[in-house]
Every structure is written in structure tokens, then in C-alpha cells.
């Protein structure tokens, strides 16, 4: 191949590679949205049955066993995860936008945010930031730990992250609600 043809091929190859990566990412996002929607629906149905039929908490254990038998090759239907689905539904059922917004991040990130952050505005802030930065749970946990743990815990969590993070300063407490709301409006997608 001539020099021009080699450059042309390299660009052609790069463009195809970029397109493949973009489509893979979109496919993963689509699968994730469906998985989160399924978990929402399972959580919703558990809550509704408990409310309307008077079923107790034992339904979760029974359901986990039966789903594991019905879908032996599928992980995600453990008793612990079913409790998380119920918690996820309860936490966001009165919100107009958090269920949709939270479907854009992984189930692990959702669980971590629900466990660590109780304020709805703060949850929105962390979800949007996770989406914008394309963070996995490892990156997100460093930021969330900054709001609730001591310096040594934060340093340990950050040092264990898969992707090294450059952090000059961080706060050990969550900024006030007005600041979070202001930053939420400045995040562009």
C-alpha cells in the first residue's frame, strides 16, 4: 500500500473501531435500562402484594428461592437483591424523574447511592454526576464517601479505585442543598 493508502486505511480502521465501541456502549446502556426497569417492576410488585394481600417479609425469601429454581443460570434474584429491588422502588416511587434517571446508571451504583445517600436532591446530584462522568461504582464510592466518612476512609477508598483519581481537595461533608441544586442545573448531558 502507498503511504496515502496506509493513512487512509488507518483512519478508516479508527472510524470503524470508534463506531463499534460506541455501539457496544449503547447496547450495554439499553440492556442496563431494561434490567433496572425489571428490578423496578419486581420491587413494585412485591410492595403491592404486601400492601394489598397482607403478605409479610417471608415472601421475599420464598420468591428468591423460587426464582433461583426457575432461572438457575441467572444471577440477581437472591434474597438480598430482592430486598434491594423493594428498597429501590420504595425510595423512588414518589419521584417523577429519579426512576428514569437512575436507569442510566448500573444497578451497583444505584444500590450504593441508595445505601449512602438519603436526601432526594443529593441522590439526583450523584446520579447525574455518575452519568456525566460515566463512573462505575468504584469511582462513585470515593465521591460519596467524601460526604460521610473520615479522611482515612476516603483515602483508602480512593487509593483502591481501579482507575486512579487525581484529587487535590475534598470535603468531608455534603454541601448544602442550595449548592447541590445550583450544580444540578449546571450539569449538561
Query: Grid coordinates representing 147?
Result: 460526604
Say what the pLDDT of residue 174 is. 60
Give CA–CA dist 43/65, Å, rounded.
16
Orientation angle between helical segments 58-70 and 3-53, nearest 10 degrees:
140
Say what the pLDDT of residue 116 is. 83
User: Of residues 23 and 183, which shows the higher confidence score?
Assistant: 23
> CB within 8 A of 133, min separation 6: which ones?
139
Site of grid cell 420504595: 90
Find the mean pLDDT for residues 99-128: 89
Highest mean pLDDT among 127-131, 154-158, 169-173: 127-131
How many CB atoms sit inside 10 A of residue 185's CB? 8
> CB within 8 A of 150, min separation 6: which ones?
172
- Spans of all domains in the chain: 1-94, 98-189
Residue 164 has pLDDT above 60, yes or no: no
Answer yes or no: are the C-beta atoms of 144 and 152 closer than 8 Å: no
Find the mean pLDDT for residues 32-45: 96
DSSP string, 161-176: -SS----S---SSPPP
Residue 15 has pLDDT above 70, yes or no: yes
Amino acid at each position: 500500500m502507498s503511504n496515502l493508502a496506509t493513512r487512509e486505511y488507518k483512519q478508516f480502521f479508527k472510524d470503524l473501531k470508534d463506531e463499534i465501541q460506541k455501539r457496544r456502549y449503547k447496547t450495554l446502556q439499553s440492556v442496563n435500562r431494561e434490567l433496572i426497569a425489571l428490578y423496578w417492576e419486581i420491587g413494585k410488585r412485591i410492595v403491592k402484594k404486601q400492601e394489598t394481600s397482607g403478605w409479610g417479609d417471608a415472601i421475599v425469601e420464598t420468591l428468591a428461592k423460587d426464582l433461583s429454581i426457575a432461572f438457575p443460570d441467572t444471577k440477581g434474584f437472591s434474597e438480598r437483591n430482592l430486598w434491594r429491588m423493594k428498597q429501590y422502588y420504595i425510595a423512588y416511587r414518589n419521584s417523577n424523574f429519579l426512576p428514569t434517571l437512575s436507569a442510566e446508571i448500573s444497578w451497583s451504583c444505584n444500590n450504593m447511592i441508595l445505601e449512602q445517600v438519603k436526601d432526594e436532591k443529593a441522590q439526583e446530584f450523584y446520579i447525574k454526576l455518575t452519568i456525566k462522568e460515566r463512573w462505575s461504582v468504584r469511582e462513585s464510592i470515593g465521591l460519596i464517601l467524601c460526604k460521610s466518612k473520615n479522611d482515612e476512609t476516603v483515602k483508602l477508598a480512593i487509593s483502591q479505585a481501579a482507575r486512579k483519581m487525581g484529587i487535590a481537595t475534598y470535603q468531608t461533608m455534603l454541601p448544602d442543598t442550595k449548592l447541590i441544586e445550583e450544580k444540578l442545573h449546571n450539569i449538561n448531558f
